[in-house]
A and B are shown apart, each in its own frame.
Chain A
């Protein structure tokens, strides 16, 4: 079932790093149960927006409300975050990594780890350390880590980078399935075409602002 109520509200969000403003007054509402593709050139503020939603950056001013909470700590158990780096320990296997991160969410059921590893198309019994994984496998395991706590909101930063086309399409298929289960998903990507047909909305960012929201992946206006 698809919700239509706003689960994330951002009001006049400004994030400055020293004298550089990465976000310059972002105001938006995002409904639940949708897959959003966040697009824009390098330096447009996509990752900063995602990190701010994930509670990793404190806004310089403005307000973020997620699932009705102003404090990220109150809802952090309901958010999954996948960054551009893997957020995994290279020296440990995928299962060992996930077992550790599961404990951080109070999950003691080892079946859950195996379940998410299988869901991303990997073998939970693989003993090889993550450092020896291919980039595609690492991205999948990173996605598994983000899914571990069964989050209502998924924030994914460049999940398809360095991933072959087939694996990327598989990931899109998985994300669409998760969206259909009612999760709200944000995907920051430079490969917008992959999400055509899967994403519900494309959020276009430029110079720290959202300048358009479209239903198709074609850039608004005449610009390429």
Chain B
């Protein structure tokens, strides 16, 4: 299998097509290509290891079952508490995925390979956010029927706005979570540090998610909370994108 090492096998200069600089890799199409490649790589790694999704599913399942048996709520009570219960469960479960996101970049110091390359830091960040969004969305898709079944949930009005709440709420969790997970990777107790950094800043979004969910389940309007979530997402996505390069290169 192993052959002799031979430098003459290597094309150099223009043949190698590799004299890229930071400047010409900043083209939007190339940035999107790097984001896609990083996202594909993360999904592939998760598919093979299933580290994040298994931990998230197990944790959420515990919350659903234990709380259901502990309280045994009526349909009316469920509508009142479901918003809080569902989103707190997803928030805690998401933290598990968020810790995994950067942990795999620290094994073998792979993150350094990204840092020495001309690839833009925000491509890495967006790929991680999208990857986490997919993981948490998969979790939500799998867990929602169980929540409905165990808590006998039935919305009194149209339920479709819950999709908007889920999308904007999940984005709020993962965009901040990915950013603060990146900040805490070099700290000694990052599993503790991430919730400490993330939860206070997520409270406004969490409040909006819970209020919107409860309102929709009770057949009331949730327009204000949905717009609030959208605004929160825009503000924090922009802030995280502006600051991520500093976080990535921090020593």
Contacts and interface: CB of A to CB of B under 8 A. Distances in A.
Contacts of A88: 108, 110, 113
A202 to B, nearest CB: 21
B7 A119 contact: yes
A77 B114 CA distance: 11
Given A96-B44, A149-B20, A178 B112 contact: no
Interface stretch (B11-19, B56-64, B192-200): B11-19
B203 interface: no
Contacts of A175: 7
Contacts of B20: 77, 105-107, 149
Chain B CB within 10 Å, residue with most, of A54, A92, A149, A181: A149
Interface residues of B, number: 49
Contact of B19 (A77, A89, A96, A177): A77
A87 interface: yes
B187 interface: no
Kindly state the interface size class of chain A when it binds its partner. 35 or more
Contacts of A180: 7
Contacts of B45: 89, 91-92
A174 B10 CA distance: 10
A81 interface: yes
Contact of A104 (B16, B48, B117, B251): B117
B154 interface: no
B9 A77 contact: no
Contacts of B7: 119, 174-178, 180-181
A177 B6 contact: yes
Nearest to A181: B12
A75 interface: yes
Interface in A74-89: 74-79, 81, 83, 85-89
Contact of B2 (A101, A107, A121, A181): A121
Nearest to A54: B116
Interface stretch (A24-32, A140-148, A190-198): A140-148
A90 B108 contact: yes
B216 to A, nearest CB: 40
Interface of A: 54-58, 73-79, 81, 83, 85-92, 96, 100-101, 103-109, 112, 115-116, 118-123, 126, 129, 137, 140, 145, 147-151, 167, 170-171, 173-178, 180-182
15 contacts: A78-B19, A79-B116, A87-B108, A89-B110, A91-B45, A105-B20, A106-B18, A115-B9, A119-B9, A123-B1, A149-B16, A150-B10, A170-B4, A173-B5, A181-B12
